[in-house]
Structures are given as C-alpha cells and as structure tokens.
Amino acid sequence: AALLPSMLMFGVILASSGLLLMIQRGILAQVGPPPPHPPAGPPSRRGGRESPAELELEVLRDTRNRTIRALCGQRSVPRSVWELPAGQRRTVLRHLLVSDKYRFLYCYVPKVACSNWKRILKVLEGALESVDVPGKMDHKSDLVFLGDMKPEEISYRLKHYYKFLFVRNPMERLLSAYRNKFGEIKEYQQKYGVEIVRRYRKNGGNSAGDDVSFSEFLQYLLDEDAERMNEHWMPIYNLCQPCAVRYDFIGSYERLHDDASHVLEHIQAPSFIRFPERQAWYKPVTAETLHYYLCNTQRRLIRELLPKYILDFSLFAYPLPNITSEFCRH
C-alpha cells in the first residue's frame, strides 16, 4: 500500500504533457516509477487477500489500460487500421499473425520473444512437430499474415478474433537488438553497421560494420524516421498501433511465461503446448548490462532519443531510464 502514491503520481504524470518537458530538463529520476512488472510465480493469498505481487500486477495493468484509453480517446488518434496512413497500415498488418484455427491475432514485436511465439503458431497449425525443435526460426514460411488478406477478411478478424501482443522495456529492447544484430549478424553489420560507422565516425570507411558503438547506434536511431525504421528497433507503438487495434491482452517480457500461459489457456491450445525455454545461444540483457551501457553513453543522446520512444514507455508503464550521476556511481 505504501507504494501506491508514487505509482499513481507516475500515472498522472504520464497522462500529462509535462513528461516531455521533464525529459528535456533531464529530470529522469525524481519521479516514482510505475509498479514493477512482478516476477512470475504462483499467486499466494493470505486470508483471502491479494498478495503484494498480485496487487502490483493489478495496478500495473490498470495504469497501462487507463493511459491507453486516455491517449486513444483523443480525436486526432486513428481508431481503426483503415484510418491509418497507408504506410502505417501496411506495417501493422504485416506484423499481425493469424490463426484461423484458434481464432486469434498476434502482433509480433522483434526482440520480445517473437521467435518462440512463431514456433507456437507453427505447432498449433501443424507445420512444426514441437516447440523444442532446435535451430533458428524461419520468420516467413508456414505463417499467415493479416496483411496478405482481403479488406473484408481483415475487418472480420480484427472484429471477432482474440488479439494480443507482448511488450518490453524500450531501452532493454534496443540494447538487445544492438548486441544481437551488430555483434552476431553479418547481414546487419554489412547493411546497417557500415553505414552507421561511415556516417558518425571520422575515418570510418574501412569498418566492416561489426564495431558499431552503442552511442553510434543511438545517434542513428535519433536521426531516423520512426515509421521507416527496421522492425527490430521500431517503436512498439508504430509496429502494433494499439489505438487502431484494440488488443484484448498485452503481456510483458518480464512475466513472459505466466502471461504466455494465460494466452495459451484463453485460446484453448492443446495442453501439450507450452511456451518454449530460451534458446541456449541467446544472450539475455541483464539489469547490470543495461546499467553499464546507459551509464557509459552520453546523457544527451538518451535524453534526445526518449521522445521517439515515449509512447512505448508511457502506454506500457515502463519507468524512464535513470541516468543520474548518483545512480551511475553505484
């Protein structure tokens, strides 16, 4: 109960125009954070009362739902995919995966466990034998995208199917994309890395694109149009358009297995289907890793980048990154 005042204050600030002003002034640590995304685990009740974790989760979802309703209730905000500009409509429709058999739509967000969700879809549709089949995911074959359907088919599914997506702390997602794409994937090093180094580093013409710094990556994001970004670092809001698509459930990366189990139960998936364990080759972003990168990056870059991702922070109730000198000393 002692946490509630700071939670509610954060929700009020999120809903006001004062948030961007705070970012501009660099006041990132003086606001109470939203309720933490509670750790997964079995619920516990004492005397019929909700456990602290359950209360935190309830407040978190209420904060998120209220903020989404407040934003999406504005007159200027598109309230259906057909009201979106053509480019934005194409983006969201090609990120909505369809299961006609189980009557659901899943908006996949890269770097938010989307590979494992695609494995589940393939198993549900009979294209894959098990979620535990080794190897990296083929992100195109044996999947049905809403954007490939006719307008009347799209409208029917948007109206009648269960719709869900999963979200993640925006800075953690960006760091995960940076480490994966520029540290491991040659295609991204050649396509994006070489250009980033050439653009932001003196005498960087000889780089193979595999030595992009995190600061250079953030500067690149700062200069990019959000609507034209690669999907791995495009804001979740732009990918999934939560005002134009009314999602029935928004799960979080922090409660991945519990929230995934909730979805699987709701769609009545066969009992043998469970959310897969993390692949052995995957390198998770820890709180310590995120702290290191943020505190060793120019504060100006982070402050200037935040407005581009502010809807992801505010709509999905994630705290702004703390980059104060006091925090970074520890």
The full DSSP string for 63-109 is HHHHHHHHHHTSTTS--SGGGS-HHHHHHHHTTEEEETTTTEEEE--
Give me the pLDDT at residue 25, please: 43
Query: What is residue 203's predicted lDDT score, i.e. its pLDDT?
Result: 81
> Does the residue 4 lie in any domain?
no
Place of tokens 């074959």: 141
Tokens 């509610």 belong to residue: 8
Say if CB 315 and CB 67 are below 8 A apart: yes
The answer to the question of residue 320 being in a domain is no
Which pLDDT belongs to residue 43? 46
Domain membership flag for residue 178 = yes
Please tell me the total number of residues recorded for the chain in this structure: 330
Domain assignment present for 263? no
Q: CA-to-CA distance for 119 and 143, rounded, in angstroms?
A: 10
Sign of the C-alpha dihedral computed for residues 8, 60, 15 and 294 taken in this order: positive
Q: Which pTM was predicted?
A: 0.84
Tens-level pLDDT at each residue, the chain (330 residues) = 333 333 433 443 444 344 544 444 443 333 344 555 655 544 444 455 677 878 888 888 888 888 898 888 888 899 999 999 999 999 999 999 999 999 999 999 999 999 999 999 999 999 888 888 766 666 778 899 999 999 999 999 999 999 999 999 999 999 999 999 999 899 999 999 999 999 999 887 788 889 999 999 999 999 999 999 999 999 999 999 999 999 999 999 999 999 999 999 999 999 999 998 876 667 789 999 999 999 999 999 999 999 999 999 999 999 999 888 888 987
Cβ-count burial 4-18 (b if 16+ within 10 Å, e if not): eeebbebbebbbeee
Domain membership flag for residue 278: no
Instruction: Compute CA distances 273 → 73, 119, 192, 260, whole Å.
Output: 37, 10, 37, 11
Q: Using an 8 Å Cβ cutoff, are 155 and 238 in contact?
A: no
Residue 254 is assigned to a structural domain of this protein: no
295: domain range? 171-232+285-314
Based on its alpha-carbon atoms, the radius of gyration of the chain, rounded to whole angstroms, reads: 20
Query: Contact at 8 Å (CB) between 207 and 124?
Result: no
Q: Residue 82 domain-assigned?
A: no
> The tokens of 249 are what?
């459930």
From residue 298, give the alpha-carbon distance in Å to each of 198, 214, 324, 325. Answer: 20, 10, 11, 12
**For residues 95 and 239, what is the distance between their CA atoms, to the nearest angstrom?**
7
Q: Where are the beta strands (DSSP E) in the chain?
A: 96-99, 104-107, 162-167, 249-252
Which residue is listed with tokens 């640590």? 29
Let me know if residue 290 belongs to a domain: yes
If one counts the domains in the chain, the total is 1
- Is residue 148 a contact partner of residue 166, using CB atoms and an 8 Å limit? no
